[in-house]
Amino acid sequence: MFKIGALASGGGTNLQAILDAVELGKINGEVVSVVSNKKDAFALERAKKHNVEAVYMSRKLFKSFDEYEDALISHFKSRNVDLIILAGFMVILSAKFTDAFKNKIMNIHPSLIPSFCGKGFYGLKVHEAVLEKGVKLTGATVHFVDSTADTGPIILQKAVEVKDGDTPEVLQKRVMEEAEWIIFPEAVRLFAEGKIVIDNNIVRRVD
Rounded alpha-carbon distances, angstroms, from residue 180 to 18, 54, 73: 11, 23, 26
Tell whether residue 185 is a contact of ligand GRF (CB under 6 A): no
# residues near ligand GRF by CB under 6 A: 12
Of 13 and 98, which has the nearer Cβ to ligand GRF?
A: 13
Q: Which of 5, 29, 88, 185 binds ligand GRF (CB under 6 A)?
A: 88
Identify whether the C-beta of residue 46 lies closer than 8 Å to the C-beta of residue 16: yes
Concerning whether 109 is annotated as a catalytic residue, the answer is yes
Of 29 and 110, which has the nearer Cβ to ligand GRF?
A: 110
How far apart, in whole angstroms, are the C-alpha atoms of residue 72 and residue 154?
A: 24
Strand-pair category, 53-56 with 105-109: unpaired
Rounded alpha-carbon distances, angstroms, from residue 59 to 28, 63, 133: 32, 8, 35
Rounded alpha-carbon distances, angstroms, from residue 85 to 6, 39, 133, 136, 185: 5, 19, 30, 29, 10
Of 63 and 119, which has the nearer Cβ to ligand GRF?
A: 119
Tell whether residue 11 is a contact of ligand GRF (CB under 6 A): yes
Site string for ligand GRF, 42-81 (x = CB under 6 A): ----------------------------------------
Say which of 75, 109, 127, 143 is annotated catalytic.
109
How far apart, in whole angstroms, are the C-alpha atoms of residue 150 and residue 33?
A: 24
Of residues 12 through 31, those in contact with ligand GRF by CB under 6 A are 12-14
As measured in angstroms, the least distance from the Cβ of 80 to ligand GRF is 24
Return all residues near 200 (Cβ < 8 A) that are at least 6 apart: none
Binding residues (CB under 6 A) for ligand GRF: these are 8, 10-14, 87-88, 108-110, 180
